[in-house]
Amino acid sequence: MRYKFSLILVLFFTIAFCKGEKQSLEQSIISRFEKVDYGKSKLSFSEFANIGGYQKIEEEEIERKSVGFDIIKKHYGNDYIKFQVNFAGIDASYKDDILPFVEISVRCGEGERFFGFGEWADYADATGLKREIWTQEQHFGTGDDNNPPRPFGEVSTYFPVPFFISSQNYAFFVSGYSRMEFYMCDSQNFWKVKVFSDNFEFFIFFWNKKPFEAIEKFTALVGRQRTPKIWAFGNWLDQVLGQEYVLNTAKWARENKIPASAIWTEDWAGGTWRTQDIYSIAGWDKQEDKKLYPNIKELSENLKELGFKFLGYFHTFVPVERTVYQDALSIGILMKDKNGSVRYYLHPAEGKTTLIDFSNPKALNFIYENFERAAKLGFSGWMADFGEWVTPDIFTYDGKSGWEIHNMYPYIWAKLNREFWESYKPDGDFVFFSRSGFTGSWKYSPVVWQGDQNTTFERLDGLGSIIPMMTSIGIAGVSNVGPDIAGYTTLGIPSDKELYLRWVSICAFVPVFRTHHGTTPLLNWRFDKDSETTEIFRFYATEHMKLVPYIYKLSKLAEEKGYPAVRHIFLEYPKVVRYLPEKLETIEQEFLLGDSILVAGIVEKGKSSREVYIPPGKWVDYFSPSSKYDGGDEGRFLEVNIPLGKIFVLVKEGSCIEVFDPVPHTLLSVSDDVKKRYEIIDINGTTIKQKCF
């Protein structure tokens, strides 16, 4: 058939350059846009073991045509160049899995590097890589030749974002929720983006001195993460297995002077031992598990008295074995396939399960009622888990296919949680934390955590993955982050002391310091496993609590400008690309907390030293200020010793950092009796001071 199309590119641009520089850069970038292809493809998908979170998408192109990249310019505003792409007349059928596509090809600049695309476990630097913009369960496996990322041989992500920053002073963003594929100068001299839609917009932002300029403009467009109450940055401990265990953990923390302001538990609605070692949680239900938590409201009050907020757990599933399932089924709010039947999945812990169709107005009342029922038990928030499992074969109440809403579902999930908590606690005294997400969902999620790492040192799915995940999502402006300490999934190897202490030391210098029991809670190493572990854990929990004023300030900066707290070296020192790709692994395994603190830990088993990149300028050892380092004008690389229990942290010379002095044990108020009984300091017993280096 004959296609009718329009390609309208409306340009709006930035600012920070003088007129000549701005026009020169604009012309340079636009001149690289080579061509536009459009057409349609037959897509198919398969699930790994009927687990909806793992989806392998395969494509068979049916038709493709090319057009030149003719540009119609219109100057508008100060922040970006906006391109509107609209191809009408492509004969697509979502029900038959036939989707339109538009592919844009852009010539790569010499030595150009690309950073971002959301949260990725391999690298924040995506040069030469494929980035699939399709939210999924994260891959698992070491990623080496003998154990490639499973189940499909490629890395995947909970939180893709179709936004990247180029080392050559521009950034690129595609709006909308369609499936997309980026190929970043992998085998040809082009980077390409293929969008499975016939109508979308994309944007170019420019930056001059530092890439933050592009992040600020991008987040002004899509939204910024908001700052929760200060207690949310004040250390979270975990516990499961019942009311007595949770309360004893709180008392243990106070008796051992472990600073913490929250305790969270996953099994408030139930838990079962799948094997002798593996413990599975029930997720959520109409009421708490009375055997595990005979008086959960009393537990909440006891925790409050000790200076802890109490956090719980929710996910997106409705397991058929839960009492809540019959309610959801009877009012017709469950996801259905193209034939009108309820779409079921196999959840590894919950068994046969399904999803709520949030496009059905009845579903909103249903989920809000269940949220409120749980909140009244005494929770101040919860883990808002999952969101990645919508398969392409579903059709929603409002007529959209899974192809159209897959990437939208985690956004909706975060939005629903936010709207509930804002109505239930208008004073903002809550926090929930999200695993999955998409463009802009962070404006609803107070905290984003990095998902389910293995309890190992694995590079792509263990301790080795957490720094790239935090720095890559930071490029999208996501600031309030923090992974599970020390991993979640145990595939035969529980966490040990070495792993635990390495993980703790790194997380002391990220915004949210939160422990996790993992899938084998009685085998995994914990803060109370032995006296040395408790001593080192106390040290790093104290260091994190000391830094909360600085972390809180960074969160406020993210809310105001979109600058992340955990920063890839490239964001502050963009000339570091001169050392890439040769020094890629070294640079990817360190980060900046704000602009003043450089953090480099050990992420490999059995190692006690590593190479570190010292950025330009003079730096001071955070723990031993008499030790100083000079990065010169271009930065330098240095081998440093980092024994178990230690971490390498530098502060930019001349910097002043806000800290608590003395360090409180909780960021909440407690009674004089509790302070005297446990000899602790609460939020009222401390002040914020400047610590200068």
pLDDT, one tens digit per residue, over 345-386 is 999 888 999 999 999 999 999 999 999 999 999 999 999 999
Q: pLDDT per residue over 175-229, tens digit each?
A: 999 999 999 998 779 999 999 998 888 999 999 999 999 999 999 999 999 999 9
424-430 average pLDDT score? 98
Structural tokens at position 295: 């008086």
Contact in structure between 504 and 486 (CB atoms under 8 Å): yes
Packing angle, helices 548-561 and 531-546, rounded to 10:
50
Task: List the domain boundaries for the chain.
Answer: 4-222, 315-445, 569-692
pLDDT value at residue 27: 79
Name 85's bridge partners: 7, 200
What region does 117 belong to: left with phi over 0, alpha with psi -120 to 50, or beta? left
73 pLDDT above the threshold of 50: no
This model's pTM is above 0.75: yes
2 pLDDT above the threshold of 80: no
Q: Please list, in sequence order, all residues whose beta carbon lies within 8 angstroms of the beta carbon of residue 242, skipping any fewer than 6 positions away.
A: 267, 291, 292, 293
* SS3 call for 365: helix
**CATH label, 4-222, candidates 1.10.1660.10, 3.40.50.300, 2.60.40.1760, 3.90.228.20:** 2.60.40.1760
9 pLDDT band, cuts 50/70/90, is very low
Q: For domain 315-445, give the CATH number.
A: 3.20.20.80
The C-alpha atoms of residue 256 and residue 498 are separated, in whole angstroms, by 22
Strand 262-264 and strand 271-273: the pairing is unpaired
Task: State the average pLDDT for the chain.
Answer: 93
Contact in structure between 285 and 270 (CB atoms under 8 Å): yes
pLDDT value at residue 11: 37
Structural tokens at position 132: 């699939």
600 DSSP assignment: E
Fold held by 569-692: Immunoglobulin-like (2.60.40)
User: How many Cα atoms within 13 Å fall on the side-chain side of residue 150?
Assistant: 9
Q: pLDDT per residue over 583-605, tens digit each?
A: 999 999 999 999 999 999 999 99
pLDDT value at residue 20: 53
Contact in structure between 251 and 302 (CB atoms under 8 Å): no
Fold match between 4-222 and 569-692? yes
Residue by residue, DSSP assigns 285-337 as: -SS--TTT-TTHHHHHHHHHHTT-EEEEEE-SEEETTSHHHHHHHHTT-B-EE
The C-alpha atoms of residue 539 and residue 535 are separated, in whole angstroms, by 6
- Euclidean distance between the first and the last CA atom of the chain, given in angstroms as a whole number: 70
689 pLDDT above the threshold of 70: yes
Q: pLDDT per residue over 294-331, tens digit each?
A: 999 999 999 999 999 999 999 999 999 999 999 999 99
Among candidate residues 481, 597, 512, the one with its CA nearest the CA of residue 225: 481
Q: Where are the beta strands (DSSP E) in 535-582?
A: 566-567
Cis amide bond preceding 486, omega within 30: yes
The C-alpha atoms of residue 395 and residue 604 are separated, in whole angstroms, by 45
pLDDT value at residue 561: 98
Contact in structure between 276 and 266 (CB atoms under 8 Å): no
The C-alpha atoms of residue 97 and residue 241 are separated, in whole angstroms, by 45
Amino acid at position 495, single letter: S
54 pLDDT above the threshold of 90: yes
